[in-house]
Structure 1
Amino acid sequence: MNAEPAVQRRLLDLQDLDLQLDQVAHKRASLPEHQALKELTAEKSVVDRELVTADTEVSDLQREQKKADSDVEQVRQRKARNQQRIDSGQVTSPRDLENLQHEIGSLDRRISDLEDAELEVMEKLEAAEAVQTDLRTRAEAFAGRQSELETTRDAALKELDEQRAELGDKRSTVAAELPEQLLAQYQRLREHNGGIGAAPLVGKRCMGCRMELAPSDLNTIKAAAPDAVLRCEECGRILVRTSESAA
């Protein structure tokens, strides 16, 4: 394959642009915000699940407390009615009076038991609400942090996308100047050589693999026509002669 020396040097310009595009792609994929958001999402998912459980527990305890309050109030009202009957003198029969007084005593004990149960529910509810409040605070903090990270990430991605677009335009311009066969070979080599398909010969060294060429290879290069497209014998990349080449 042959290509004018100036065209071969433009291949190095293309290689430089491709390396810059690779760097932009790497930066896009490795933004610290990506990992931070991934970790934050995992932590937030745990808190969200715990919050659902806490909300359910608080709701259940609130219903339980309402029932306990209602039970106490019903017994108190019944006691009050009995006491009112006694105080008003409506009960004249000694036996009926004794029965009412006995029932009032039973109601007092019942009220005491219900109030103990009511207090226990209140304490459980208070503890559950404290957990719920803490989880909501943490969930809100996660949401705020997530928003901050997304804003920072999106700004970084926008800047990188602008760089990628600018580099892409430059690459298209350079690629259009290269012969199709040379461009195709470069792209194949680039795919199989870690993103580097062409490299300059600096002194006696191929800057693609950083290996110094053997004297016999240098002699072959010196004897080659200026427009001959050469390959490094060590790495197989297109080897471009420049003013810094020893051959």
Structure 2
Amino acid sequence: MKVDPAVQRRLLELADVDAELARVDHRRRTLPELAEIADAEKAAQAKKDAKVANETALGDLDREVKRQEREIDAVRAREDRDRALLAGGTVSSKQMTDLEHELNTLQRRQTTLEDELLELMERREAVELDGQHAAVELAKADEALQDAANRRDHALADLETVSARRTADREKLVPEFPQPLLDLYERVRKNRGIGASLLRQRRCGACRIELDRTSISRIANTAADEVVTCDECGAIMVRTPESGL
């Protein structure tokens, strides 16, 4: 394939543009913020789970406290009723004895229930403090997640700016090349990542392999307008005075 040497040299500009676009694409996919966000999302979810578990525990304790309070109220009501019967003087001596025994039992029961209620209230206070701590930790996790997301968005916006600029550069360059040359370039770029490179000091700029004497001799004797490719990677090798031929 014969192509004007000046047009071949312009391929190096296209290759530079494509290399930068490839770096931008790689950067998009490997932003450190992406891994940071994934970790932050896991941390935030763990904090949310902890907060929900705390709220569940607090709800269970609240129900237990109310049940205990109702039972204490029932014991007190029974005690008040018995004391009212005793104060009324309308019961027999046997009933009085039974009521006094029941009152003693109710007092012991009330003391036990009140001790249990106090323990429940202490547990509830501890769980409530844990809940406040969980809420603070969740807020911190959400803040860290939002911060990482903001940094990711800023980085992506910068990359998008570079991508748009270099894509525009590429669109201006592409029409300068004959279609057969462009087809060869795109085919090699798709398969190898680099479609064209500078042959510098007898070394292919794409695969970095130094050419042997036979290849150098063959290329040196090839017309300047003939397109040459690397035997190793297939990239178009653009010859300039730096090629060392």
Deviations 1:21-74 (A, max 9, x none): 111112222211111111111222223223222221211110110110111122
Residue identity in the other structure for 2:46 = V
Correspondence 1:8 to 2:5: no
* 8 Å contact from structure 2 (residues 85, 91) kept in 1: no
Counterpart of 1:142 in structure 2 is: 141
Counterpart of 2:217 in structure 1 is: 219
Deviation at 1:176, TM superposition (A): 1.8
Candidates 225, 228, 231, aligned match of 2:229: 231
Instruction: Name whichever of 102-111 and 156-165 sits farther off.
Output: 102-111
Give, in whole Å, the separation in 1 of the partners of 2:90 and 2:143. Answer: 69
Give, in whole Å, the separation in 1 of the partners of 2:228 and 2:202. Answer: 14
* 8 Å contact from structure 2 (residues 31, 152) kept in 1: yes
* 8 Å contact from structure 2 (residues 61, 124) kept in 1: yes
Deviation at 1:227, TM superposition (A): 1.1
Residue identity in the other structure for 1:186 = Y
Deviation at 1:98, TM superposition (A): 2.4
Give, in whole Å, the separation in 2 of the partners of 1:18 and 1:105. Answer: 93
Aligned pairs for 1:31-180 within 5 A: 31-87=31-87, 89-91=88-90, 93-180=92-179
Deviations 1:149-201 (A, max 9, x none): 111110111111111011111011111211111111111111222x2121111
* 8 Å contact from structure 1 (residues 91, 97) kept in 2: no
Give, in whole Å, the separation in 1 of the partners of 2:72 and 2:238. Answer: 95
Deviation at 1:92, TM superposition (A): 5.5
Counterpart of 2:191 in structure 1 is: 192
Deviation at 1:16, TM superposition (A): 0.4
Give, in whole Å, the separation in 1 of the partners of 2:212 and 2:33. Answer: 47
Give, in whole Å, the separation in 2 of the partners of 1:91 and 1:102. Answer: 17
Give, in whole Å, the separation in 1 of the partners of 2:34 and 2:171. Answer: 30
Unaligned residue ranges in structure 1 (runs of 5+): none
* 8 Å contact from structure 1 (residues 200, 241) kept in 2: yes
Counterpart of 1:244 in structure 2 is: 242
Residue identity in the other structure for 1:240 = V
CA RMSD between the two structures: 1.8
Residue identity in the other structure for 2:52 = V
Give, in whole Å, the separation in 1 of the partners of 2:80 and 2:54. Answer: 38
Instruction: Give SS of 2:241's match.
Output: strand
Residue identity in the other structure for 2:239 = R
Deviation at 1:221, TM superposition (A): 1.7
Residue identity in the other structure for 1:142 = A
